[in-house]
Structure 1
Amino acid sequence: MTQLNYHHLRYFHAIAREGSLTKAADRLNVSQSALSIQLKKLEESLGCFLFEREHKTLSLTEEGRMVLNYADAIFRTGEEMLATLHNRGGHYRSVIRVGAVSTLSKNFQITFLSDALDDQEVEVVIYSANLQELIGQLKAHTLDIVLSNSAVPAEVEPMTRTQIVAEQAVSLIAPRDYEFKVDFRFPQDLQGAPVVLPSRESSLRSSFNLLLEKAGIVPLIAAEANDMATLRLIAREVNAITLVPPIVVLDELRSGELKELCQVPNLRETFYAITADRRFPNRYVQRLLDKPWQGGFAV
């Protein structure tokens, strides 16, 4: 069985992070030719190319990106081990690695992780990507937990566990100066009104469209976005009605910059935490999952 040469892996890690042999060689204080030889030996031992070489530039192959993820985790774990053994500052620090779906509300992420972020003995590392990539990293044990607004069925990923950690009503939000002749009435006042909606792939969008279709209401779609951060920015800048969970625009609602017109009946956003079966799970994960507000948000 091929043994992994960690010295070679360290060289690969430097090349990948610096983006070139020249910069990596300068950082490691070795010659480019020596670095190139060590990289070639690593590729031969792994049986695959880690970089594509075109016009003197290097770009990671699919295998290279996977190896880089593992290398990041390996060297980060080594640093944690040294920090723990040295007991810096008299405190044993622990790390929790969190994957967050890139379309997920940042306010939800901060709220969910607030205890860990406030704990000076815990370092929180947050990595954003699509759900498929995050599940892959979770199964590879380079992440401890994944936060998502989509569930992962057990029959699809049998080595993972998905649980609801919070859910919230979805509201129609408008700028502070947005006015109606009378109090807002749902759904009739959406007829012809400019609206900002999640993209068509969103389950929220599908459910909302169904409600309007049943009522025979046709709004004017001013904009749509596939992530909550963009919806938040548009809601602040455009004179339109935005469909969004209140947690996404929490600061703007509290400041009065935006106002809630109504909660949409029978429409809720669900937030999930996904974990993987592990012999040695991160103990801090369970503390997060046991938070007293589990299952709902007080906004």
Structure 2
Amino acid sequence: MNFNHLHYFHVIATEGTLSRAAKRLGLSQPTLSAQLRNLEEYFGRKLFDRSSGSLRLNANGRKAIEVTHEMFRLGERLESLFPGERRSPVTRLEIGIATSVVRSFAVERFIGLFRNKDVLTRVRQGDHEYLHHELLTSGLDLFITDTPPDKRVTRGTIHRRLSSPDFAIIAPVRAARKLAAGMPESLHGQPFVHYSSHSAARFEIDQYFRKHRIEPDVVAEADDVYLIRDAVLEGIGFGVVPSSILRETVDRHKITAMGRVEGTFEIHAVYNRKDPTKEVLAALDLLADPES
């Protein structure tokens, strides 16, 4: 037994869950769980009752917490005797964002999160299924995806719509002049840079094509909206990208929007229903469109 073991136990008991305690301490959840087991093995007693992934202090744990409360209260008194410029512990906010949505979600939305010096925001991208699993196992606080919620796998989580971006049909200016008059039927048989089957945007675009009885000639597939835009700039074919991508394009004189794809393009935030932290709720407000 050492001071760290007691500190870890105290933080777990006060935070109520391993995941929140791990974020407060800056440790991985498996590491913290192993440290707790070491302490319990040292005492030869379980300190928590475990059920459905939750921890609740048992009689042994309640005895231990009485002692650690006194220990750390005295520690705070000792610190107060020697005031300094010690910085408060930084809270971590773990955000996952699906690869298919990274570039179509406004990057500036994260700037407000990064400005908060009391919270270390870590953003990583990956496959939808992998990140959803990470959320369910407390590896993430928040998951951003363009895949519509599936009621079969949403148990224990909450979905909030962050935005509904408009998608524009774009083509090189010269090609657009020839196609504009007969839109959208003029797109039939034309070379097209599509999204892969991993992107929710593909389903909505295919629905649009079926509605108008259009079968474009798919010459390439990608999930990166900037890659699709650049392929259009190079004359590979026409494409469909969020309107915001077109507005920020430097070479706007080379491509033009020929129309809008009607569909339900939505970006969702997913988080655990049980006791979301104030940092998660604050992040949702910063990331969402005002009307969402």
Q: Which TM-score bucket, shorter chain as reference?
A: 0.5 to 0.7
One-letter amino acid of the counterpart of residue 114, structure 2 = L
One-letter amino acid of the counterpart of residue 140, structure 1 = T
1:157 to 154, 157, 174: 154
Contact 2:100 2:199 in 1 (8 A): no
Q: Deviations over 1:3-25 (max 9, x none)?
A: 9xx99xxxxxxxxxxxxxxxxxx
Q: In structure 2, how many angstroms separate the alpha carbons of the residues matched to 1:211 and 1:178?
A: 21
Counterpart of 1:251? 248
2:210 to 187, 209, 213: 213
Tell me how far 1:276 sits from its aligned partner. 0.6
Change (3 A) 1:267 1:223: same
Counterpart of 1:115? 112
One-letter amino acid of the counterpart of residue 134, structure 1 = L
- Structure 2 residue 275 is the aligned partner of structure 1 residue 283: no
Q: Deviations over 1:162-218 (max 9, x none)?
A: 121110222112245544147454312212322111124544333333433343333
Q: In structure 2, how many angstroms separate the alpha carbons of the residues matched to 1:179 and 1:102?
A: 30
Contact 1:102 1:129 in 2 (8 A): yes
- TM-score of the pair, normalised by structure 1: 0.60
Task: Report the secondary structure of 1:211's partner residue.
Answer: helix
One-letter amino acid of the counterpart of residue 261, structure 1 = M
- Structure 2 residue 93 is the aligned partner of structure 1 residue 96: yes
2:145 to 129, 145, 148: 148
For residues 198-277 of structure 1, what are the structure 2 equivalents within 5 Å? 198-200=195-197, 202-228=199-225, 230-252=227-249, 256=253, 258-264=255-261, 266-277=262-273
For residues 39-50 of structure 1, what are the structure 2 equivalents within 5 Å? none
Task: Report the secondary structure of 2:140's partner residue.
Answer: coil
For residues 31-42 of structure 1, what are the structure 2 equivalents within 5 Å? none
Q: Which runs of 5+ in 1 are unaligned?
A: 8-67, 76-84
Q: In structure 2, how many angstroms separate the alpha carbons of the residues matched to 1:200 and 1:193?
A: 20
| Structure number with larger C-alpha Rg | 2
Q: Which runs of 5+ in 2 are unaligned?
A: 6-26, 35-78
Task: Report the secondary structure of 1:234's partner residue.
Answer: helix
Q: In structure 2, how many angstroms separate the alpha carbons of the residues matched to 1:88 and 1:74?
A: 32
Change (3 A) 1:74 1:124: farther
Q: In structure 1, how many angstroms separate the alpha carbons of the residues matched to 2:214 and 2:193?
A: 15
Tell me how far 1:109 sits from its aligned partner. 5.4
Q: In structure 1, how many angstroms separate the alpha carbons of the residues matched to 2:285 and 2:120?
A: 19
One-letter amino acid of the counterpart of residue 289, structure 1 = L
For residues 165-180 of structure 1, what are the structure 2 equivalents within 5 Å? 165-175=162-172, 178-180=175-177
- TM-score of the pair, normalised by structure 2: 0.61
Q: In structure 2, how many angstroms separate the alpha carbons of the residues matched to 1:136 and 1:278?
A: 16
Change (3 A) 1:72 1:257: farther
Q: Deviations over 1:250-294 (max 9, x none)?
A: 531785564322112x22310000001344x33222123224624
User: Which stretch shifts more, 209-218 or 145-154?
Assistant: 209-218
Q: Deviations over 1:225-247 (max 9, x none)?
A: 24545434434444421112224
Contact 2:204 2:264 in 1 (8 A): no
One-letter amino acid of the counterpart of residue 286, structure 1 = L
Over aligned residue pairs, what C-alpha RMSD do you find? 3.7
